[in-house]
Structure 1
Amino acid sequence: MNTKPCVHAMIVAAGRGSRFGASIAKQYTMLQGQTLLQHSVARLASSGYINECLLVIAADDSIAQGLDFALPIHYAVGGAERWQSVQAGVEAIMKAGADDSDLVLIHDAARSAVLSHDIDQVIEAAMLEPYGAILAAPVADTLKQSQPITPDTQSKSATTSSSNDYIAHTVDRNGMWQAQTPQVYRLDQLYQVLTHVGEQQLAITDEASAFEHMNLPIRLVTGSRQNIKLTYPDDALLLEAILTAQNK
């Protein structure tokens, strides 16, 4: 097995981020004079393993190609689901002549505070694995499993609450991790699991989920808690504070 493969970086930026609630796709949120997408590309550029980047964008995206980036950029058009966008990126990388054992690094456009050290760590871990590795953080908070309240037991207070869910039980957080990106996989293995997802019509939230469905081991690499994802409007304040602190 080739332990020093080429690394092909990909940022998935074809979604609109409906939970963010803005009129513009969240990857084009401005922070410190640049879009979130530009910040994320710049972070990848800080790794010595990455020399260029593939951006997977929506077919109607009229913004990305007008921006300046810290790396040479190639483009692919994504699909309706995340896995379809990743698959489009993988196919573009394969058509460009990549080797089957090369690594594909997949990063979220909305994670612009990832540390350079963590990028290198997850790449180096994936180089030693047959399938790949992802950045993740051990869960620190107490986790609660919820259950919806039924009409005959619903209290009056629930009518003014932001949720009609109540605690069912506490989830044991030992061994629980929050998945982050980058996630780094062998090209041929990634292509095979994405094909499986399409054939089986699986619902996955990240590429590691596809490997899990096929019982293929993916290594966890501890990442910084600074590597937050912009998901809700309040996240922008926290992310900007993190970027400001990192740039001091």
Structure 2
Amino acid sequence: MALVAAGARVAISGRTAAKLEETCRLIAERGGQALAVRGNVKDPRELPAMVEQVAAWGGGVDILVNNAQEVPAGRLLEVSDEAFVAGFESGPLASFRLMKLVYPHMVAQGGGVIFNLVSSAAARWDMTGYGAYGAVKQAMRVLTRAAAAEWGREGIRVLAIAPHAESPGLKRWIAHNPDEAEAFFRAIPLGRVGRLEEDIGRAVVALCGPELGYLTGATIPLDGGQANFG
């Protein structure tokens, strides 16, 4: 919604057509243009057609946001191989593939911006229960740094975003972990969780602009000052 408000045409992807259609409807109510691209980012056979559909509709690809993630939650002895693999397939592997697929489109137009969503779970002082998830998200950070280093001369900037946001996923986590959530919120210096559009979305818009055009390869902790990525 923040990108739409800034004048971008937005293509959204996911596995559930009804969710995509509802989001497109909300964007249309704002006067924006949106394209629903149904697909599963874990399936490498679907990704090329998804990217080409977006590029044909939009006349190229200016911005890529890699947000999909299945979460391999739990202590190490509790996380199955299948859950760990699914975390990698939906997160860093899908992002890796999509980054490579949008690369020629961005090169052809003189640049672009890629955002990979990561998590401060990878930088917790106590990693209990977050080892597998943290490993997946740290892989995203390494891919971000590598792409920024390799593609900077083509005008492609690559950034990692680590947000605390009022998402459905966070709300589910709060419901299942009330005591940990209370301690979590106390550790946020600004004293609140970020608003989706106002705090996270608008920051992404700002990071796309020329004013921050010299920033690449960094992890941006949009978390009210909680995390210390070092």
Which of the five TM-score ranges fits, normalised by the shorter chain?
Answer: 0.3 to 0.5
Higher strand fraction (1 or 2): 1
The one of the two structures with greater contact order (alpha-carbon pairs below 8 A, sep at least 6) is 1
Higher helix fraction (1 or 2): 2
Give the structure-2-normalised TM-score: 0.35
